[in-house]
Structure 1
Amino acid sequence: MFRVAENTLDQPIPPQALQPAPVLANPIEPDYLAKGSCAYNRASIALFLSGFATFSLLYCVQPLMPLFSHDFGVTPAASSLSLSLCTGFLAFSIFLAAAISEQFGRRSLMFASLLGSAICTIICSMITDWNLLLVIRALQGFLLGGAPAVAVAYLAEEVEPRGLGATVGLYIAGTAFGGMCGRVVTGTLVEMFTWRPALAIMGLLGLAAAIGFFRLLPPSRHFTPHRGFDPKFHLSAWLGHMRNPALPCLFAVSFLVMGAFVTSYNYIGYRLVAAPYNLGQTALGMIFTVYVFGILASWGAGRLGDRFGAFRVMPVGLLTAAIGCLLTLFSPLPLIIAGIVLLTIGFFMSHSLASAQVAKLARGTKGHASSLYLLAYYMGSSIAGTVGGVFFAAAGWPAIVSFTVGMLVVAIICGLGAKMLAAR
């Protein structure tokens, strides 16, 4: 039943058989950035700098809005356009940049995005005409979209899977740190100088971060440019996600929760720099350090979502944000700050869970689903952030609270709707 192999001991051994076999570094993951390697560490730091620069340059104008109203003689709603126009153009830029990067490459697009945005911030510090400042901020938003649109795509392509989570986490930490520093550092610099030197310094910091990013980030090894642009393919992918019944509900959650969050942050400064609080710019900027609670909440929400289900935890986050908005109606400053903390925690909880569910429920072309989510996210910032100024001008802070709580209630309904539709 068994055949005995022939004895080959007397046969001559070919010379090539005496050569040592080549050692394969890793046949499954060739040339990936290995966790702990120098290239991996450089990429991690580079993406942290990218996240920091993107969101510090985006949000550095938020604590300056009361000063814009004073120096340029514009209303709070008009002053909010310095952020809303930027986030609005950023939304469309992100929407398109992921597709454009398939032709021009990840690294080059991200560097051009960061460099152009930093230069725009420096230019804004020298402008004396309000309308021109808004034009430059709109241009900045459009340029800025290239970095967040493809950062995670670069990491997914270049980093070995076992080290991907850590690098993405560091990038997200950079975005949160940048969003906080853009507000806190700018507010502190304004107290020391005026808003023009403050913006110039932020622009120079962004420029340094862009250069550091480009020098540190290893070139792409696994990216293959796709020549030509097929609008029909991209349109079909976007429409396909809109036909998924649960996803539009999650896009609505994104729009509403971001709108409520940014509206509250936009106009709380007007309330706190006025009597009876009379806070200075440094004290006002320090309030934005509550972002730390948001960073922790985002991490904690992910763990709770894994254990109890994202659709069960998401309404808790939205309700927490609504309670935080209601707390800001009270006069004592500690209660107002506690309300901002709860709003921030609730926002980061619901945002992290909603974005994760979009990635989970999307059927193919997940990048296109993510771009729709981000479009809704930043359009919520842009539209609601400016419309809130109309409410504030009409009836002060109570009107802002009514507006934001109303959006959060609708967001809870949309979240429950997404849960029901996803279960079908």
Structure 2
Amino acid sequence: MTKPTSVASRLAESLAIVLGTPEVPLRLRAWDGSEAGPEGAPVVEFRSRRALRRMLWSPGQLGLSRAYVSGDIEAPGDIFGSFAALSSAGKFAETGPFRPLTAREKWSLLRAAVALGALGPNPAPPPEEAKITRLGRRHSRRRDAAAISHHYDVGNEFYALVLGPSMVYSCAVWNDEETGLDAAQDAKLDLVCRKLGLRPGMRVLDVGCGWGSFALHAAQRYGVDVVGVTLSTEQASLARKRAAQAGLTERIEIRVQDYRDVDDGPFDAISSIGMSEHVGGEQIGNYVSRLYNLLSPGGRLLNHAISWNAGPISPDPDSFIPRYVFPDGEMLSLAHMISALEAGGFEVLDVEALRRHYALTLRAWVRNLEEHWTDAVQASSEGRARIWRLYMAASALGFESGLTGVNQVLVQRAGGAEPPLRRTEWI
């Protein structure tokens, strides 16, 4: 076997070791201009020796992610193509840990680092990496508040560039692939309102209210009063401003408050859109119990959440998502979520899978980010913009492959009016 001689070919061999594959279906371009890999394959650039050093110290998803966030690695073309190639070769898009390297593989990485002059101390992580694990008990109020702040308090201007005018940060509902993002988000908000059976005069709790988009939609179009709670001060500030601009301050109250501290029920309906992923498996029973007790008899809860579809997993604290995107976030299976809701006393009325819709939504967000790249970097940092590009592109591929899903589960508390015989209220 001919040993690799160019810098790029040595990098290709090293990356194949990390991914656990015989070869990598990428065209690698090294810092010296050399290239290796199939002609016409997606290009990934190793811009400095530090990228290899990060792989040596953290030979898995974390090392590769740190290299991308810091700019040591670049995907200059179609980022979806590059990440799809990585995913097909290894486990880059999965949330579980990479397989451990053997002693022989570690020795091969070390030899490559020596040959390429990449030996040195472990490079400092990019400043955007979360330090949440130092803040006490997992899913305590303090730690949850810190985790939410890490993800959401990165600048309302940055999110506006990514999300567009709707300011909705959850899966949209598309009639077809040509539907615009704003129209798809409007359709999702209206679908939730219909599923909850909203009528004028009802009192609604929006758990994890974000920038107030659902509250505005429900108050404007359905005449309800909404209490929105979030742990993000920046979200709350903009949500209040939007409510004031719409003349809805008498109908919409936005609080910086943990849902566990809401004590002024009952509510006629509760929406939880993209929030329960922050609750955690150990706390999901308490979450269900708390919302059940806040509902009036016969009241409905709509739980919209991402699910993990690929079997049991143990969250890996050294993977990209918990380190950079959602500290302490957990994806539960649909079966786990429904079981918790039923165990908490709810009756399931409807389940709707929206997996393909989230892939379309994420691709639209990536387009927004890339089209407004310079402004997004100025509104946050280059590292933050790179994190969101990586996270959203990899997530889109996860939904397209079926590793992850997203589901709206509509449930009702016993008592009050009977549910409809058919889903005519919301289809």
TM-score, normalising length from structure 1? 0.27
Q: Flag the structure with larger Rg.
A: 1
TM-score, normalising length from structure 2? 0.27
Higher helix fraction: Structure 1 or Structure 2?
1
- Using CA pairs under 8 Å that are at least 6 residues apart, name the structure with larger relative contact order, 1 or 2: 1
